[in-house]
Amino acid sequence: MSLRAGSHAATSTLKKIAADMSNIIESLDTRELHFEGEEVDSEVVNDPKGAVCIPFSAIYHTHGFKEPGTQTYLTGCPVRVRVLEVERFTSTKKVPSPNVYTIELTHGEFTWQVKRKFKHFQEFHRELLRYKAFVRIPIPTRSHTVRRQSIKRGEPRQMPSLPHTAESTVREEHFSSRRKQLEDYLTKILKMPMYRNYHGTMEFIGVSQLSFIHDLGPKGIEGLIMKRSGGHRIPGLNCCGQGRMCYRWSKRWLVVKDSFLLYMKPDSGAIAFVLLVDKEFNIKIGQKETETKYGLQIDNLSRSLILKCNSYRHAQWWRQGIDEFIRKHGKDFLTQHRFGSYAAVQENTLAKWYVNAKWYFEDVANAMEAAKEEIFITDWWLSPEIFMKRPVVEGNRWRLDCILKRKAQQGVRIFVMLYKEVELALGINSEYSKRTLMHLHPNIKVMRHPDHVSSSVYLWAHHEKLVIVDQSVAFVGGIDLAYGRWDDDEHRLTDVGSVKRMAAVKSVSTTNLASAVESSECVPLQSQALSPESHLFQRNADDAPDISKMKGVGKPKKFSRFSIYKHLHKHGMHHADSVSSIDSESNKGSIRSLKTGVGELIGETRFWHGKDYCNFVFKDWVQLDKPFADFIDRYTTPRMPWHDISSVVHGKAARDVARHFIQRWNFTKIMKPKYRSLSYPFLLPKSQQTAHELKYQVPEAVHATVQVIRSAADWSAGIKYHEESIHNAYVSVIENSKHYIYIENQFFISCADDKVVWNKIGDAIAQRILKAHRENKRFRVYVVIPLLPGFEGDISTGGGNALQAIMHFNYRTMCRGENSILGQLKTEIGDKWINYISFCGLRTYAELEGKLVTELIYVHSKLLVADDNTVIIGSANINDRSMLGKRDSEMAIIVQDTETIPSVMDGEDYSAGKFAQSLRLRCFRVVLGGSDLSLEHQDPVCEKFFKEVWISTAARNATIFDKVFRCLPSDQVNNLTQLRDFINKPKLANDDPVKAAEELKKIRGFLVQFPFRFLEEEYLLPSVGTKESMVPMEVWT
């Protein structure tokens, strides 16, 4: 009873308030009335700059066209109307000839045109009258009630009248007054929110929820149209049958933007397809071309879309409207660009390079933190639990999954595309990565591709590594956000100690925790002591390393950090961070002060947590679902350092990178049935016209000319013709280089024989050297590749079939056989090749638990620098998989300097590019030792540098390593019998560690000569009967 009484009281109160409100509204002068809250009459706001923009994120919140309360127009901004011209059409039929009015509308920064006949105005007017009557009927539905409430205040306005004179009786001289009448009629309608917000009005003037979004660029033609199903270029996406019976026709709202078209479902507002403008973009009309009466066919590289209009003239208007608009605003997308790329050459682009992942990860983390709308990520492999800033001094704040969760909670949309591996062949566990990320927040969407069975793609991979923020900042390069990648210029082999903080930094919390633990075991810990986010991310106890199994538990002095572990377990905080960010009393081992950007750190710091500490030639990753458990013993096995290169670009070039991601995302969405749901939205490319409006900028970037290049094909991006612009760019840069080429690459498989290997990079290098020799000019080629391919295998027993297969093709390119670079050179110039080209690898050494150890540095870079003015950085290896376009998908940029600095080349003054030269000098400094300002590195062509610095450093380092460690690969081992003898001989490192340490002091940098003769007497391709021999040869090349 009391409930009913309470509700009755509430209702009567509401009625009172409603009555009061209606009295107030009725007593207002209608001329002063502001309709619909914020919306105001067009007389009030005349300044379009004052209009409030519709955020770009509105594309993810579209509603059905008839739903009330949908924001279509800019708040506080009038729609201006001008009837520009009248076209008279003569008709062969006996009906009166119709007049077509071209109406120009302006709303804020947007201007567009529609063509309407007088009969369209009459139909529109009748519809508005019906709507006015309908609104007065109190139908008891929620949506109708909302509609009535929103427009009640507009009732006092009289609906404007339409001229009554029939069109046929209007003489030509009266057209201007008829134009004025229609202009006034439409202007009055659009001033009245009741009618302006009616879906019939929006249809009449050709606007939708996507019309006035600033970042989508200028407004093109829009309208309702019938579209036919099918027409996709990719087999399997269309109906199996042929002919009319198999097609479905659906009513859709077509929207034309400067670089794409899309259509929406009017009932739900869902974006149902996006068609990008590209070099194949073409529009045809007519029954013959389209097999449809009044048909309109729009083609691009991915689809042939057929639309149906209601007359031939209507189809012509559409064709003309789309064609003129795209040619005016999107002409860059209609042509193929240099090197056959989809992307134009973008001048005055801000760009920055990265050598090694430390600085790359930091800048990626900061850019993600600054994201406002979208983050796009695609990787060959992604590990959610990696730390982006190290050493870890702020708990989990900069762990990748925590950053993404934080941004998703702030409303940023995050889209991730992962390569779906063949599980038998690779252990990267993309399924775990997807599951982990998707559980963080509904705003994070993850797709995996390809489905090997349905797409019949078993051999190829998505290999590009991209992070794109708000389609304005794009990171492009060779570094996956994954385990094993983080490294700095020191390329450490060991990581057994803990961080000792020596200087105050922003986060005091870890220091407090550390000192609390040191002083007393029973101090209660605050759950936030490590990180404000620690409670967001509860993890299972399995993720913490199993202490009982770890070495060093019984050595309390040396490994006092384990007492802290007990403390963490006691307080349920072991998930917040691994041991390394917490202090330790022990500070033994090689003491070395590191400038890490977070104050001075002393001790052997733990930078690599759990699975991040790896040596994949020794052992491949296992149990990736337990990220913080070690899988190799860091007290006996050195890690394998990781040398890599990446870059970032801004503005138009970043838009181009985003466009590639969008193309792949939208293709995968259509391709895989599970992604067709609305929870995986279609992505829309932002306009190039707004690309200069950078809300965030990576520090220390320089201006240069940049072009985005890629390897893409039907299976990877859904396009009709494959693209191999990276291959074309490499060959072109090598052929046109004047002084030198510097290459760092994970593979070196080239020199086409048109049977097994097809890419032409090796041949271009050989021909360029021969040209220099014929012209008697100096020319240098530097090639740095890993000493061994990155496959698990014990090199002391030969390395295994996969490792040997890659070695075979690397050697076949460099020095074995007549097709090899040295083979081609020796035929013409004999041993003089040594003056032109040098092949090297990288190696380093350290002391681990009192024992000298060595390991190769894994070169994962994909870099070419030429003449200190041109650079290619990307994800593409020098092999057929990456270069041919039809195989792995890849992404790269070519940067040409516009800002120059005085330098020296071949002993003469030279204008070197800022971007290219600084990158080359940093690479030289890392591999040769020394500083960025080493004068001897300045001139990469002169005899002194090439012979006395580069070649002599590589030779000396290789000799010392050989003497101390008897390293593999080695020139002293030509077959497997010699290999067995070689490894059984004593090593100086074991026999006389003191003398060995003295020898190692003579090493400079990491550079070592590449051993050309290693296993040269063995046949390295997989032998018949092995599982590797059953794999097609293209897998290795």
| Residues classed as catalytic | 463, 465, 470, 860, 862, 867
- For CA atoms 530, 531, 534, 539, give the dihedral sign: negative
Q: Which amino acid is at 526?
A: Q
38 vs 40: CA distance, rounded Å: 6
Separation of alpha carbons 219 and 205, rounded Å: 12
Angle at 612 between CA 611 and CA 618, to 5 degrees: 75
Q: Rounded CA gap, 276 and 665, in Å?
A: 12
Candidates 744, 618, 619; CA nearest to 1006 is: 744
CB burial of residue 313 (10 Å; 0-12, 13-18, 19+): middle
Q: What is the dihedral of CA 40, 42, 43, 48, to 10 degrees?
A: 100
179, 86 contact by CB (below 8 A): yes
Here the tokens at position 258 are 């400067």
CB 71 within 8 A of CB 52: no
Return the exposure string of 89-108: e unless at least 16 CB atoms fall within 10 Å of the residue's CB, then b: eeeeeeeeebbbbebebebb
CB 889 within 8 A of CB 664: yes
In angstroms, the CA 445 to CA 680 distance is 7
Work out the number of other CB atoms within 10 angstroms of the CB of residue 502. Answer: 11
Cβ contact 74:107 at 8 Å: yes
How far is Cα 585 from Cα 176, in angstroms, rounded to an integer? Answer: 91
Contact 604, 558 (CB under 8 A): no
Tell me how far apart the alpha carbons of residues 336 and 951 are, in angstroms, rounded to a whole number: 42
Q: Cis bond leading into 218, ω under 30°?
A: no
Listed as own residue / partner, the contacts of 151-156 with beta carbons closer than 8 Å and 24 or more positions apart are: 151/36, 151/193, 151/194, 151/197, 152/22, 152/25, 153/25, 153/33, 153/35, 153/36, 154/35, 154/36, 154/192, 154/193, 154/194, 155/194, 156/30, 156/33
Contact between 329 and 218 under an 8 Å Cβ cutoff? The reply is: yes
Please give the single-letter amino acid code of residue 438.
Answer: M
| Token pair 């090199």: residue | 795
The torsion angles phi and psi of 14, rounded to 5 degrees, stand at -60, -40
The rounded distance, in Å, linking the Cα atoms of 802 and 790 is 9
CA distance 381 to 482: 6
Of 624, 664, 621, which is closest to residue 378 (Cα–Cα)?
Answer: 664
Please state the three-class secondary structure of 147-207 as a single string.
HHHHHHHHCCCCCCCCCCCCHHHCCHHHHHHHHHHHHHHHHHHHHCHHHHCCHHHHHHHCC
Q: Under a CB-based contact definition with an 8 Å cutoff, are residues 274 and 683 in contact?
A: yes
- In Å, what is the CA distance from 20 to each residue of 23, 157, 159, 837? 5, 21, 26, 90
Rg (CA), the chain: 34
Backbone angles phi, psi at 573, to 5 degrees: -115, 10
What single-letter DSSP state applies at residue 324?
A: H
CB atoms within 10 A of CB 267: 11
| CA nearest to 595, candidates 391, 448, 426, 762 | 391
